[in-house]
Chain A
Amino acid sequence: MKNENLYNCILGIADNSLILGQRMGELCGHGPSLETDIACTNISLDLFGQVRSYFQYAAKLAGDGRTEDDIAMLRKEREYKNVLLVEQPNTDFAYTLGRQFLFDVYHLMFLSELQKSTDLTLAAIANKCIKEVSYHERFSSDWVKRLGDGTEESHQKMQNAIDDLWTYTDELFHQTEADKAMVEEGIGVDVTKLKDNYYKNVKSLLDEATLKVPESKYFQKGGKEGVHTEHLGYLLSDLQYMQRTYPNMEW
Protein backbone atom coordinates (compact mmCIF):
# COMPACT_ATOMS: atom_id res chain seq x y z
CA MET A 1 0.00 0.00 0.00
CA LYS A 2 1.34 3.39 -0.98
CA ASN A 3 0.17 5.24 2.10
CA GLU A 4 0.81 2.51 4.61
CA ASN A 5 2.04 4.84 7.35
CA LEU A 6 -0.98 7.08 6.97
CA TYR A 7 -3.30 4.06 6.97
CA ASN A 8 -1.76 2.70 10.19
CA CYS A 9 -1.75 6.11 11.79
CA ILE A 10 -5.51 6.50 11.08
CA LEU A 11 -6.23 3.05 12.50
CA GLY A 12 -4.34 4.02 15.65
CA ILE A 13 -6.61 7.03 16.10
CA ALA A 14 -9.85 5.32 15.08
CA ASP A 15 -9.41 2.12 17.09
CA ASN A 16 -9.38 4.11 20.34
CA SER A 17 -12.84 5.46 19.49
CA LEU A 18 -14.10 2.10 18.24
CA ILE A 19 -13.12 0.14 21.33
CA LEU A 20 -14.19 2.84 23.78
CA GLY A 21 -17.45 3.19 21.84
CA GLN A 22 -18.06 -0.53 22.25
CA ARG A 23 -17.35 -0.35 25.99
CA MET A 24 -19.77 2.53 26.46
CA GLY A 25 -22.34 0.75 24.30
CA GLU A 26 -22.23 -2.18 26.73
CA LEU A 27 -24.06 0.06 29.20
CA CYS A 28 -27.11 0.18 26.94
CA GLY A 29 -29.90 -0.99 29.23
CA HIS A 30 -27.43 -1.46 32.10
CA GLY A 31 -26.61 2.10 33.16
CA PRO A 32 -27.00 2.98 36.84
CA SER A 33 -29.93 5.27 35.97
CA LEU A 34 -31.90 5.97 32.82
CA GLU A 35 -30.20 9.34 32.26
CA THR A 36 -26.66 8.03 32.62
CA ASP A 37 -27.54 5.03 30.49
CA ILE A 38 -28.66 7.34 27.70
CA ALA A 39 -25.62 9.58 28.16
CA CYS A 40 -23.18 6.68 27.90
CA THR A 41 -24.86 5.25 24.81
CA ASN A 42 -24.95 8.70 23.21
CA ILE A 43 -21.21 9.02 23.80
CA SER A 44 -20.85 5.57 22.27
CA LEU A 45 -22.84 6.69 19.23
CA ASP A 46 -20.69 9.80 18.79
CA LEU A 47 -17.55 7.67 18.92
CA PHE A 48 -18.89 5.15 16.40
CA GLY A 49 -19.85 8.01 14.09
CA GLN A 50 -16.33 9.37 14.31
CA VAL A 51 -14.92 5.91 13.63
CA ARG A 52 -16.95 5.69 10.44
CA SER A 53 -15.38 8.86 9.09
CA TYR A 54 -11.87 7.56 9.84
CA PHE A 55 -12.50 4.08 8.47
CA GLN A 56 -14.16 5.37 5.30
CA TYR A 57 -10.99 7.34 4.69
CA ALA A 58 -8.77 4.36 5.57
CA ALA A 59 -10.77 2.10 3.21
CA LYS A 60 -10.26 4.60 0.41
CA LEU A 61 -6.51 4.64 1.08
CA ALA A 62 -6.34 0.84 1.19
CA GLY A 63 -8.02 0.78 -2.21
CA ASP A 64 -8.33 -3.01 -2.21
CA GLY A 65 -12.09 -3.32 -1.98
CA ARG A 66 -12.21 -3.45 1.80
CA THR A 67 -15.00 -1.37 3.31
CA GLU A 68 -15.26 0.53 6.58
CA ASP A 69 -17.13 -2.48 8.00
CA ASP A 70 -14.39 -4.91 7.03
CA ILE A 71 -11.83 -2.76 8.80
CA ALA A 72 -13.99 -2.47 11.90
CA MET A 73 -15.17 -6.06 12.12
CA LEU A 74 -12.76 -8.42 10.44
CA ARG A 75 -9.34 -7.81 11.94
CA LYS A 76 -7.67 -10.09 14.46
CA GLU A 77 -6.91 -8.95 17.98
CA ARG A 78 -3.25 -8.19 17.25
CA GLU A 79 -4.27 -5.92 14.38
CA TYR A 80 -6.17 -3.50 16.63
CA LYS A 81 -4.01 -0.52 17.57
CA ASN A 82 -6.01 1.04 20.40
CA VAL A 83 -4.38 1.99 23.69
CA LEU A 84 -4.87 -0.40 26.63
CA LEU A 85 -6.81 2.23 28.58
CA VAL A 86 -9.92 2.14 26.39
CA GLU A 87 -10.31 -1.66 26.44
CA GLN A 88 -10.43 -1.88 30.25
CA PRO A 89 -13.77 -3.27 31.42
CA ASN A 90 -16.72 -1.38 32.95
CA THR A 91 -15.90 -2.74 36.41
CA ASP A 92 -18.26 -0.26 38.08
CA PHE A 93 -19.59 3.18 37.23
CA ALA A 94 -16.50 4.84 38.73
CA TYR A 95 -14.25 2.82 36.40
CA THR A 96 -16.46 3.58 33.42
CA LEU A 97 -16.39 7.33 34.02
CA GLY A 98 -12.79 7.38 35.27
CA ARG A 99 -11.68 5.68 32.06
CA GLN A 100 -13.79 8.06 30.01
CA PHE A 101 -12.33 11.07 31.82
CA LEU A 102 -8.70 9.93 31.45
CA PHE A 103 -9.31 9.39 27.75
CA ASP A 104 -11.45 12.50 27.09
CA VAL A 105 -8.81 14.89 28.41
CA TYR A 106 -6.32 13.33 26.01
CA HIS A 107 -8.82 13.07 23.15
CA LEU A 108 -9.67 16.76 23.31
CA MET A 109 -6.01 17.82 23.25
CA PHE A 110 -5.27 15.36 20.46
CA LEU A 111 -8.12 16.56 18.23
CA SER A 112 -7.21 20.15 18.83
CA GLU A 113 -3.79 19.40 17.27
CA LEU A 114 -5.19 17.15 14.54
CA GLN A 115 -7.27 20.07 13.30
CA LYS A 116 -3.97 21.58 12.13
CA SER A 117 -3.03 18.50 10.08
CA THR A 118 -1.85 19.15 6.53
CA ASP A 119 -4.11 16.25 5.55
CA LEU A 120 -7.37 18.06 4.90
CA THR A 121 -9.61 15.03 5.46
CA LEU A 122 -8.13 14.36 8.89
CA ALA A 123 -8.31 18.05 9.75
CA ALA A 124 -12.01 18.13 8.77
CA ILE A 125 -12.81 15.00 10.81
CA ALA A 126 -11.00 16.46 13.83
CA ASN A 127 -12.87 19.71 13.45
CA LYS A 128 -16.16 17.81 13.51
CA CYS A 129 -15.23 15.46 16.37
CA ILE A 130 -13.86 18.06 18.73
CA LYS A 131 -17.28 19.65 19.21
CA GLU A 132 -18.73 16.34 20.33
CA VAL A 133 -15.76 15.39 22.48
CA SER A 134 -15.99 18.70 24.40
CA TYR A 135 -19.37 17.51 25.65
CA HIS A 136 -17.93 14.11 26.57
CA GLU A 137 -15.11 15.71 28.52
CA ARG A 138 -17.43 17.98 30.46
CA PHE A 139 -19.72 15.07 31.24
CA SER A 140 -16.99 12.73 32.49
CA SER A 141 -15.18 15.50 34.44
CA ASP A 142 -18.46 16.37 36.08
CA TRP A 143 -18.96 12.80 37.26
CA VAL A 144 -15.38 12.38 38.49
CA LYS A 145 -15.93 15.50 40.62
CA ARG A 146 -19.35 14.40 41.77
CA LEU A 147 -18.22 10.92 42.82
CA GLY A 148 -14.80 12.00 44.13
CA ASP A 149 -16.27 14.80 46.21
CA GLY A 150 -19.38 12.79 47.12
CA THR A 151 -19.94 10.25 49.86
CA GLU A 152 -17.18 8.27 51.53
CA GLU A 153 -18.11 5.25 49.44
CA SER A 154 -18.28 7.06 46.09
CA HIS A 155 -14.97 8.78 46.90
CA GLN A 156 -13.29 5.45 47.61
CA LYS A 157 -14.66 3.86 44.45
CA MET A 158 -13.54 6.76 42.29
CA GLN A 159 -10.11 6.72 43.90
CA ASN A 160 -9.77 2.95 43.26
CA ALA A 161 -10.69 3.43 39.63
CA ILE A 162 -8.19 6.24 39.08
CA ASP A 163 -5.46 4.29 40.92
CA ASP A 164 -6.04 1.20 38.76
CA LEU A 165 -6.40 3.00 35.45
CA TRP A 166 -3.44 5.30 36.02
CA THR A 167 -1.00 2.64 34.83
CA TYR A 168 -2.50 2.87 31.31
CA THR A 169 -2.18 6.65 30.91
CA ASP A 170 1.47 6.89 29.86
CA GLU A 171 0.88 4.82 26.73
CA LEU A 172 -1.25 7.63 25.30
CA PHE A 173 1.99 9.51 24.66
CA HIS A 174 3.94 6.72 22.94
CA GLN A 175 4.61 6.89 19.22
CA THR A 176 4.65 4.05 16.72
CA GLU A 177 6.94 4.16 13.69
CA ALA A 178 3.94 5.14 11.55
CA ASP A 179 3.07 7.96 13.97
CA LYS A 180 6.61 9.32 13.81
CA ALA A 181 6.61 9.27 10.02
CA MET A 182 3.29 11.12 9.93
CA VAL A 183 4.48 13.77 12.40
CA GLU A 184 7.48 14.36 10.08
CA GLU A 185 5.09 15.03 7.21
CA GLY A 186 2.94 17.40 9.23
CA ILE A 187 -0.02 15.02 9.04
CA GLY A 188 0.04 13.32 12.44
CA VAL A 189 0.02 14.72 15.96
CA ASP A 190 3.19 14.64 18.05
CA VAL A 191 1.62 13.10 21.15
CA THR A 192 4.83 13.38 23.17
CA LYS A 193 4.23 17.12 23.28
CA LEU A 194 0.80 16.69 24.86
CA LYS A 195 2.02 14.82 27.91
CA ASP A 196 2.90 17.64 30.32
CA ASN A 197 -0.32 19.52 29.77
CA TYR A 198 -2.32 16.32 29.99
CA TYR A 199 -1.06 15.48 33.46
CA LYS A 200 -1.43 19.09 34.51
CA ASN A 201 -5.10 19.14 33.44
CA VAL A 202 -5.86 15.75 34.94
CA LYS A 203 -4.19 16.61 38.24
CA SER A 204 -6.03 19.88 38.55
CA LEU A 205 -9.39 18.15 38.14
CA LEU A 206 -8.45 15.34 40.54
CA ASP A 207 -7.56 18.01 43.11
CA GLU A 208 -10.93 19.62 42.62
CA ALA A 209 -12.54 16.20 43.05
CA THR A 210 -10.63 15.75 46.36
CA LEU A 211 -8.91 12.71 44.84
CA LYS A 212 -5.27 11.78 45.26
CA VAL A 213 -3.04 11.80 42.22
CA PRO A 214 -1.53 8.30 42.03
CA GLU A 215 2.21 8.22 42.66
CA SER A 216 2.97 4.98 40.84
CA LYS A 217 5.62 5.31 38.14
CA TYR A 218 4.92 1.88 36.69
CA PHE A 219 3.12 2.06 33.38
CA GLN A 220 1.69 -0.59 31.05
CA LYS A 221 2.03 -0.35 27.29
CA GLY A 222 1.54 -2.48 24.19
CA GLY A 223 -1.85 -1.65 22.70
CA LYS A 224 -0.47 0.64 20.02
CA GLU A 225 1.70 -2.27 18.82
CA GLY A 226 -1.21 -4.72 18.96
CA VAL A 227 -0.26 -6.40 22.23
CA HIS A 228 -3.37 -6.15 24.35
CA THR A 229 -4.69 -7.04 27.80
CA GLU A 230 -6.87 -10.13 28.01
CA HIS A 231 -9.99 -7.93 28.00
CA LEU A 232 -9.80 -7.05 24.31
CA GLY A 233 -10.37 -10.61 23.12
CA TYR A 234 -13.65 -10.84 24.99
CA LEU A 235 -14.71 -7.44 23.73
CA LEU A 236 -13.97 -8.41 20.12
CA SER A 237 -15.87 -11.66 20.39
CA ASP A 238 -18.92 -9.55 21.21
CA LEU A 239 -18.21 -6.85 18.64
CA GLN A 240 -17.50 -9.28 15.80
CA TYR A 241 -20.04 -11.96 16.66
CA MET A 242 -22.52 -11.30 13.85
CA GLN A 243 -19.91 -10.98 11.10
CA ARG A 244 -18.07 -14.08 12.25
CA THR A 245 -21.21 -16.16 12.60
CA TYR A 246 -22.97 -14.93 9.47
CA PRO A 247 -20.16 -13.70 7.19
CA ASN A 248 -21.06 -10.77 4.95
CA MET A 249 -24.48 -10.33 6.47
CA GLU A 250 -25.94 -6.84 6.06
CA TRP A 251 -28.35 -4.91 8.22
Chain B
Amino acid sequence: MTSIEQNIEHRLISILEQVSDPEIPVLSIMDMGVVRSAIIEEGVVKVEITPTYSGCPAMDVIGDDIKKALKDAGYKSEIDLILHPAWTTDWITPRGRKALEDYGIAAPLEADADKDALFNGKRIVKCTNCSSQNTRLVSQFGSTACKAQFQCDDCQEPFDYFKCLK
Protein backbone atom coordinates (compact mmCIF):
# COMPACT_ATOMS: atom_id res chain seq x y z
CA MET B 1 0.00 0.00 0.00
CA THR B 2 1.55 3.25 -0.99
CA SER B 3 0.27 6.68 -0.23
CA ILE B 4 2.99 8.57 -2.02
CA GLU B 5 2.93 12.32 -2.03
CA GLN B 6 -0.12 12.44 0.17
CA ASN B 7 0.03 15.60 2.24
CA ILE B 8 -2.86 16.05 4.62
CA GLU B 9 -2.84 18.21 7.73
CA HIS B 10 -3.53 16.19 10.82
CA ARG B 11 -6.44 18.26 12.11
CA LEU B 12 -8.28 17.90 8.78
CA ILE B 13 -8.18 14.12 8.67
CA SER B 14 -11.19 13.45 10.88
CA ILE B 15 -13.28 15.97 8.91
CA LEU B 16 -12.38 14.48 5.55
CA GLU B 17 -13.00 10.97 6.83
CA GLN B 18 -16.67 11.88 7.25
CA VAL B 19 -17.06 12.41 3.52
CA SER B 20 -18.06 9.23 1.76
CA ASP B 21 -17.91 8.10 -1.84
CA PRO B 22 -21.40 8.80 -3.23
CA GLU B 23 -21.34 5.58 -5.28
CA ILE B 24 -20.10 3.44 -2.37
CA PRO B 25 -21.44 5.13 0.77
CA VAL B 26 -19.62 2.83 3.23
CA LEU B 27 -16.28 4.01 1.94
CA SER B 28 -14.75 7.30 3.05
CA ILE B 29 -12.92 9.29 0.40
CA MET B 30 -9.83 9.04 2.60
CA ASP B 31 -9.90 5.24 2.50
CA MET B 32 -10.49 5.48 -1.24
CA GLY B 33 -7.26 7.44 -1.62
CA VAL B 34 -8.74 10.21 -3.74
CA VAL B 35 -7.64 13.03 -1.42
CA ARG B 36 -4.03 13.78 -2.32
CA SER B 37 -3.45 16.84 -0.21
CA ALA B 38 -5.24 19.15 2.21
CA ILE B 39 -3.40 22.07 3.68
CA ILE B 40 -4.45 25.30 5.36
CA GLU B 41 -3.11 28.41 3.70
CA GLU B 42 -4.10 31.80 5.07
CA GLY B 43 -7.28 30.43 6.59
CA VAL B 44 -8.37 28.58 3.46
CA VAL B 45 -8.17 24.81 3.15
CA LYS B 46 -6.73 23.83 -0.19
CA VAL B 47 -7.75 20.32 -1.14
CA GLU B 48 -6.45 18.34 -4.07
CA ILE B 49 -8.47 15.35 -5.20
CA THR B 50 -7.82 12.93 -8.04
CA PRO B 51 -10.44 10.95 -9.98
CA THR B 52 -10.54 7.16 -9.81
CA TYR B 53 -11.66 6.97 -13.45
CA SER B 54 -11.62 9.93 -15.88
CA GLY B 55 -15.35 9.78 -16.40
CA CYS B 56 -16.22 9.22 -12.75
CA PRO B 57 -19.45 11.20 -12.26
CA ALA B 58 -18.89 11.17 -8.50
CA MET B 59 -16.03 13.67 -8.59
CA ASP B 60 -18.20 16.80 -8.73
CA VAL B 61 -20.31 15.51 -5.85
CA ILE B 62 -17.21 14.59 -3.84
CA GLY B 63 -15.89 18.13 -4.32
CA ASP B 64 -19.17 19.63 -3.10
CA ASP B 65 -19.34 17.23 -0.15
CA ILE B 66 -15.81 18.12 0.94
CA LYS B 67 -16.64 21.81 0.78
CA LYS B 68 -19.73 21.26 2.89
CA ALA B 69 -17.95 19.14 5.50
CA LEU B 70 -15.19 21.73 5.84
CA LYS B 71 -17.69 24.57 6.01
CA ASP B 72 -19.57 22.79 8.82
CA ALA B 73 -16.24 22.57 10.64
CA GLY B 74 -15.69 26.28 10.13
CA TYR B 75 -13.27 26.28 7.22
CA LYS B 76 -13.38 27.94 3.84
CA SER B 77 -12.02 25.71 1.12
CA GLU B 78 -10.86 25.45 -2.46
CA ILE B 79 -10.96 22.15 -4.35
CA ASP B 80 -8.57 21.31 -7.15
CA LEU B 81 -8.82 18.30 -9.40
CA ILE B 82 -5.40 16.89 -10.24
CA LEU B 83 -4.55 14.10 -12.68
CA HIS B 84 -0.98 13.39 -11.77
CA PRO B 85 0.05 11.01 -10.33
CA ALA B 86 -2.83 8.91 -11.63
CA TRP B 87 -4.97 7.15 -9.04
CA THR B 88 -4.37 3.45 -8.49
CA THR B 89 -6.33 0.83 -6.56
CA ASP B 90 -3.17 0.46 -4.41
CA TRP B 91 -4.23 3.66 -2.68
CA ILE B 92 -7.35 2.06 -1.20
CA THR B 93 -6.43 1.54 2.46
CA PRO B 94 -6.76 -1.85 4.22
CA ARG B 95 -9.73 -0.40 6.12
CA GLY B 96 -11.21 0.65 2.76
CA ARG B 97 -10.75 -2.83 1.31
CA LYS B 98 -12.53 -4.32 4.31
CA ALA B 99 -15.39 -1.83 3.98
CA LEU B 100 -15.77 -2.77 0.32
CA GLU B 101 -15.91 -6.49 1.12
CA ASP B 102 -18.43 -5.96 3.93
CA TYR B 103 -20.56 -3.95 1.53
CA GLY B 104 -20.58 -6.78 -0.99
CA ILE B 105 -17.92 -5.58 -3.41
CA ALA B 106 -14.89 -7.83 -3.84
CA ALA B 107 -11.66 -5.83 -3.35
CA PRO B 108 -9.20 -5.58 -6.25
CA LEU B 109 -6.69 -8.39 -6.79
CA GLU B 110 -3.10 -7.82 -7.89
CA ALA B 111 -2.63 -6.92 -11.57
CA ASP B 112 -1.79 -10.42 -12.91
CA ALA B 113 -4.52 -12.15 -10.93
CA ASP B 114 -6.95 -9.44 -12.04
CA LYS B 115 -6.20 -10.18 -15.68
CA ASP B 116 -6.62 -13.91 -15.08
CA ALA B 117 -9.99 -13.36 -13.45
CA LEU B 118 -11.31 -10.91 -16.03
CA PHE B 119 -9.88 -12.26 -19.26
CA ASN B 120 -8.71 -15.82 -18.75
CA GLY B 121 -11.71 -17.24 -16.94
CA LYS B 122 -9.80 -18.13 -13.74
CA ARG B 123 -12.03 -18.69 -10.72
CA ILE B 124 -10.12 -16.72 -8.12
CA VAL B 125 -12.35 -13.83 -7.07
CA LYS B 126 -13.78 -14.61 -3.65
CA CYS B 127 -17.54 -14.42 -3.21
CA THR B 128 -18.38 -11.60 -0.80
CA ASN B 129 -21.29 -13.61 0.58
CA CYS B 130 -19.86 -17.11 1.21
CA SER B 131 -16.11 -16.68 0.49
CA SER B 132 -16.13 -19.45 -2.10
CA GLN B 133 -13.79 -19.03 -5.05
CA ASN B 134 -16.14 -20.95 -7.29
CA THR B 135 -17.20 -17.71 -8.96
CA ARG B 136 -17.52 -16.70 -12.57
CA LEU B 137 -17.34 -13.50 -14.53
CA VAL B 138 -20.70 -12.21 -15.77
CA SER B 139 -19.45 -8.99 -17.35
CA GLN B 140 -16.13 -7.18 -17.51
CA PHE B 141 -17.95 -3.92 -16.87
CA GLY B 142 -20.36 -3.52 -13.97
CA SER B 143 -22.67 -0.96 -12.42
CA THR B 144 -19.91 1.66 -12.60
CA ALA B 145 -16.78 1.87 -14.76
CA CYS B 146 -14.58 0.75 -11.86
CA LYS B 147 -16.36 -2.55 -11.29
CA ALA B 148 -16.98 -5.89 -13.02
CA GLN B 149 -19.89 -8.27 -12.38
CA PHE B 150 -19.40 -11.74 -10.94
CA GLN B 151 -21.66 -14.51 -9.72
CA CYS B 152 -20.93 -17.21 -7.16
CA ASP B 153 -21.70 -20.73 -8.40
CA ASP B 154 -21.96 -22.06 -4.84
CA CYS B 155 -24.36 -19.64 -3.15
CA GLN B 156 -25.55 -18.03 -6.42
CA GLU B 157 -24.95 -14.52 -5.06
CA PRO B 158 -24.29 -11.94 -7.79
CA PHE B 159 -21.70 -9.38 -6.73
CA ASP B 160 -19.43 -6.60 -7.96
CA TYR B 161 -15.66 -6.86 -8.17
CA PHE B 162 -13.56 -3.69 -7.96
CA LYS B 163 -11.15 -3.88 -10.90
CA CYS B 164 -7.44 -3.45 -10.35
CA LEU B 165 -6.17 -0.17 -11.77
CA LYS B 166 -2.42 0.39 -11.89
Is B166 on the interface with A (CB-CB < 8 A)? yes
**Chain B residues whose CB sits within 8 angstroms of the CB of A120 once the complex forms:** 84
CB distance from B144 to the nearest CB of A (A): 8
Is A79 on the interface with B (CB-CB < 8 A)? no
Across the two chains, which residue of chain A brings its CB closest to B164? Answer: A131
A47 near B55 with CB under 8 A, answer yes
Is A30 on the interface with B (CB-CB < 8 A)? no
A35 near B84 with CB under 8 A, answer no
**Chain B residues whose CB sits within 8 angstroms of the CB of A36 once the complex forms:** 139
For window 9-47 of chain A, which residues contact chain B by CB distance below 8 Å? 35-36, 38-39, 42-43, 45-47
Give the complex CA separation of A36 and B84 in angstroms: 31
CB distance from B52 to the nearest CB of A (A): 10
A46 near B53 with CB under 8 A, answer yes
Is B66 on the interface with A (CB-CB < 8 A)? no
CB distance from A205 to the nearest CB of B (A): 13
Give the complex CA separation of A120 and B143 in angstroms: 33
Tell me whether A53 and B54 are in contact in the complex, defined as CB-CB below 8 angstroms, given that A38-B143, A39-B139, A131-B166 are known contacts.
yes
- How many cross-chain pairs have Cβ atoms below 8 Å apart between A and B? 73
Give the complex CA separation of A38 and B141 in angstroms: 7
For window 117-166 of chain B, which residues contact chain A by CB distance below 8 Å? 118-119, 138-145, 149, 163, 165-166
For window 116-141 of chain A, which residues contact chain B by CB distance below 8 Å? 120-121, 123-125, 127-129, 131-132, 135, 138-139
Give the complex CA separation of A48 and B56 in angstroms: 10
Range, interface on chain A? 20 to 34
Is B24 on the interface with A (CB-CB < 8 A)? no
B55 near A131 with CB under 8 A, answer no
For window 44-67 of chain B, which residues contact chain A by CB distance below 8 Å? 51, 53-57
Give the complex CA separation of A124 and B86 in angstroms: 7
- Binding site secondary structure of chain A: helix
**Chain B residues whose CB sits within 8 angstroms of the CB of A157 once the complex forms:** none
Is B26 on the interface with A (CB-CB < 8 A)? no
Is A49 on the interface with B (CB-CB < 8 A)? yes
Is B13 on the interface with A (CB-CB < 8 A)? no
- Identify the interface centre among B141, B144, B149: most chain A CB within 10 Å of its CB: B141
Choose one: B140, B143, B145; the contact of A132 (CB below 8 Å): B145
Across the two chains, which residue of chain B brings its CB closest to A38? Answer: B141
Is B15 on the interface with A (CB-CB < 8 A)? no
- Binding site secondary structure of chain B: loop
A127 near B84 with CB under 8 A, answer yes
Is A52 on the interface with B (CB-CB < 8 A)? yes
Choose one: B83, B118, B145; the contact of A138 (CB below 8 Å): B118
CB distance from B61 to the nearest CB of A (A): 13
- Identify the interface centre among B51, B54, B57, B139: most chain A CB within 10 Å of its CB: B54
**Chain A residues whose CB sits within 8 angstroms of the CB of B165 once the complex forms:** 131
CB distance from A78 to the nearest CB of B (A): 27
**Chain B residues whose CB sits within 8 angstroms of the CB of A45 once the complex forms:** 53, 55, 57, 145
| Chain A positions near chain B (C-beta within 8 angstroms) | 35-36, 38-39, 42-43, 45-50, 52-53, 120-121, 123-125, 127-129, 131-132, 135, 138-139, 142
A-B contact pairs, 11 of them (CB 8 A): A35-B139, A35-B149, A39-B139, A42-B141, A42-B142, A43-B141, A45-B145, A48-B55, A124-B84, A127-B84, A138-B119
- For the complex of A and B, the 8 pairs showing the least CB-CB separation, nearest first, are A49-B55, A49-B54, A35-B139, A124-B84, A39-B141, A45-B55, A42-B141, A128-B86
Known: A49-B53, A49-B54. 13 other contacts (CB 8 A): A35-B139, A36-B139, A42-B141, A46-B54, A48-B55, A124-B83, A127-B83, A127-B85, A128-B54, A128-B86, A128-B87, A132-B53, A132-B145
